[in-house]
Chains A and B, each alone.
Chain A
Amino acid sequence: MYNRKTIADNIFYVGVNDRQKNLFENYLPLPGGVAYNSYLIIDEKITLIDTVDASLADVYLAKIEAVLQGRAIDYLIVNHMEPDHAGSIGLLKQKYPNLQIVGNRKTFDMLNGYFGINTQLHEVKEGDTLSLGKRTLTFYMAPMVHWPEVMVAYENSDKILFSADAFGTFGTVDGDYLDACINTDKYWDEMRRYYACIVGKFGAPTQNALKKIATLDVQIICSTHGPVWKQEREKVVDLYDKWSRYEAEEEGVVIAFGSMYGHTQQLTEAVAEGITAEGIKNVVIYNVSKTDTSFILSDIFRYKGLIIGSPTYMGGIYPLIEQLLFSIEHRGIKNRLYSCFGSFTWAGAATKQLTAFAQTMGWELVGTPVENKQAVFAQKYQEGFELGQAMGQKLKSLR
C-alpha cells in the first residue's frame, strides 16, 4: 500500500504530504505544499520520531500500521512540540496506550499543557542516550531552532541525525524522499524561505546547535519537512551556517518597492539601471504589492545588497513596505549594504524614515538616498541611476 523503501535497515519514512493547506502557520504561502516527516524505527523497542499535523492523522496512522502490522509502539520521541509535528500525539496515544514519550523538561511542560499527558514519560537531558536494542539514540538540545523545547536525536550506527525543523524546507515530497533519487532543484529557494521566515530570528541559537552537530559524524539528515538529505547533507549544513551568521550567499541586490501611481516605480528602474551598469548581474526587483513578504525576505537573506523604495503615505511609509521593514527588523538581519529612495507630493516622510532604518539595523548606508517630488524628471532619474551605481561599485569592491 505504500513505499516500503527504508532509509537504513528497518528505518521507515512515514511522513505525509499536505497539498491542501494554502498558508503555513496561517500566513506563509505554500505554492508547493509542505511535508510533515515522521520516522519509524523497528528494533527491540519500536520507536517513532515525531508525528504529523492532525489534519493528516488518518493517512499517517495507516502508514504506521502498514509497517507495524499489529505490533505496538514502545517509544515516541518528541523533538518538537509545534502542532505541525505534535498534532497527532493525542490520537497516537489513544491507539498505542502503552507508549512512552521521550522528551526533555520543556517538552513535558508543553505535552501536559496541550494534551494533559503527564505519565509514561522518559526524560532526557543533553547527551543522554536511549538504547532501542541494536540501535542507540543520543539527544542534544537545540533550543529555539525553532521553539524552546526543540532537541535532536542522533542514531549512532548509521549516523543519522533526526534534526527536527532544522534543514527542513517547504515543498512536498514527491515520490521518493531521498535527495539522491529526486531532482532537488525546487527545494533550495523554498528551504531558504522556510529558514528566513521561521528560524531567521534565531541565528545565535542555530549557531549553537550547529556547533554541537559539527562534533558528530552525520551521514544522513532526517528533518521534519522535505527530503531526507544524504547526498546534499554538507550543502544543507553549509547553507544553515551561512544563513544563521546572516552572511549573504552571493553578489546581488534586492530592490523592494511600493508604488501607488508608478512614480516610485520609475525611480526603481533608474536604480536598477545604475546597478547593472556597474556589471552586477543579480538584480531582483519586487513590487511589495504583488509578492508576499516571505519571498522578499528570502532573497534578502540571499543577497548582500538591499535597496528599498516607498512613497510617502499619510505622513509615513507605505503600509506594505512597513510590513517588510518589520519582518526584516524582527529577524535581526546583519551586515547588509543598504540604500533607499522615495517619493512624495506635499511633505515627504518615507525617504527620511527609510534612511533612519539603516541605523536601526546597524547597516552601512550606500550612496545618497533619493527623494522625488511629484513627477520624475531627468535630474531625479539621474540621481536614482547614481544611487544604483554607488551600490554596484560598493559590491564590486568586495570581490
Chain B
Amino acid sequence: MKYVCVVCGYVYDPAAGDPDSGIAPGTTFENLPDDWICPICGVGKDQFEPEE
C-alpha cells in the first residue's frame, strides 16, 4: 500500500522504493527502517498515513 506524508504530500510507493535513500523498489512501508525520513521534507515515518 502507498503512504502519504501528512506534512508535504509526498507519496511513498513501495513499487518505486526510495533509491536516493538506498531503499530498493519493492520495499513495503512497514519494512522501511525506523530512521527512514521523508525524502522531500525530512519528517519521520510517524508522519505518514495510508493513502486513501
Contact = CB atoms under 8 A, between A and B. Distances in A.
A348 B47 CA distance: 36
A316 interface: no
B26 interface: no
B41 interface: yes
B40 A208 contact: no
B43 A148 contact: no
B43 A205 contact: yes
A204 B7 contact: yes
A141 B40 CA distance: 11
Nearest to B6: A332
A208 B42 CA distance: 9
A205 B40 contact: no
A202 interface: yes
Interface string A29-64: 000000000000000000000000000000000000
Contacts of B7: 144, 201-202, 204-205
B13 to A, nearest CB: 18
B36 to A, nearest CB: 15
A396 interface: no
Contacts of A141: 42
A90 interface: no
B47 A144 contact: no
A319 interface: no
A367 interface: no
Interface string A197-227: 0000110110010000000000000000000
Contacts of A148: 8, 40-41
Contacts of B8: 143-144, 148
A208 B8 CA distance: 15
Given A148-B8, A204-B7, A205-B7, A143 B40 contact: yes
B12 to A, nearest CB: 15
B46 to A, nearest CB: 9
Contacts of A144: 7-8, 41-43
A106 B20 CA distance: 13
Interface in B17-52: 40-43, 47
B47 A204 contact: yes
Residue of B8, B40, B42 with most partner-chain A CB within 10 A? B42
A144 B8 CA distance: 7
Contacts of A201: 7
Contacts of B42: 141, 143-144, 205, 208
A242 B10 CA distance: 27
B42 to A, nearest CB: 4
A12 to B, nearest CB: 32
A210 to B, nearest CB: 14
A108 to B, nearest CB: 14
A205 B47 CA distance: 11
B40 A106 contact: yes
A151 to B, nearest CB: 11
Interface in A161-213: 201-202, 204-205, 208
9 contacts: A143-B42, A144-B41, A148-B8, A148-B41, A201-B7, A204-B7, A205-B43, A208-B42, A208-B43
Interface of B: 7-8, 40-43, 47
Rank and list the top 8 A-B pairs by shortest CB-CB distance, nearest first: A144-B41, A143-B42, A143-B41, A148-B40, A148-B41, A204-B43, A144-B7, A144-B8
